[in-house]
């Protein structure tokens, strides 16, 4: 059974803004692998648009089109009051950044077991969700990770 992974906004950003660099290529592969069984949190999609808008405003139409496409391919996870409460617990108990806590909590609520991000501690597991940094792995390790 494939891993049920969620993507941090940084993966989406690299795929859009650095498509020919190593991180952009890895990010594109991660998105392809995760699409079959992945989860994307609305928060990550909106962060992606905000970063693209700030860093490369001419790519905003492309970013919006990608968000609309990803929302059709991935199961999306909303932010509810319960998600907010769980996120605040993570912020308080584990010093998560607020937006990572929101993504973590929303993805976990709909069954994600892996959070793909370069911003959190690789290998950390909490509440049944494991962090994996896709940029620290070879192609083979990445394939095995998401298979």
Got the DSSP string for the chain? ----EEE-HHHHHHHHH-TTSHHHHHHHHHHHHHHTT-EEEHHHHHHHHHHHHHH-GGGHHHHHHHHHHHHHHSEEE---HHHHHHHHHHHHHH---HHHHHHHHHHHHTT--EEE-SSS-TT-EETTEEEE-GGGS-HHHHHHHH-
**pLDDT score, position 1:** 64
Q: What is the pTM of this model?
A: 0.93
pLDDT in tens, the chain (147 residues): 678 999 999 999 999 999 999 999 999 999 999 998 999 999 999 999 999 999 999 999 999 999 999 999 999 999 999 999 999 999 999 999 999 999 999 999 999 999 999 999 999 999 999 999 999 999 899 888 887
Please give the Cα distance from 76 to 70 (Å, whole number). Answer: 9
User: In CATH, what class is 5-146?
Assistant: alpha beta
């Amino acid at each position: 059974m494939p891993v049920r992974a969620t993507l941090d906004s940084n993966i989406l950003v690299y795929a859009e803004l650095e498509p020919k660099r190593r991180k952009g290529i890895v990010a594109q592969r991660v998105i392809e692998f995760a699409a079959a069984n992945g989860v994307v949190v609305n928060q990550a999609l909106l962060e992606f648009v905000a970063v693209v808008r700030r860093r490369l405003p001419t790519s905003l139409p492309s970013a919006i089109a990608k968000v609309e496409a990803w929302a059709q391919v991935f199961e999306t996870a909303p932010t509810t009051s319960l998600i907010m409460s769980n996120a605040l617990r993570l912020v308080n108990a584990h010093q998560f950044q607020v937006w990572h806590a929101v993504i973590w909590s929303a993805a976990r609520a709909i069954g994600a077991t892996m959070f793909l991000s370069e911003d959190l501690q690789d290998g950390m597991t909490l509440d049944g969700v494991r962090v994996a940094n896709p940029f620290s792995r070879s192609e083979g390790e990445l394939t095995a990770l998401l298979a």
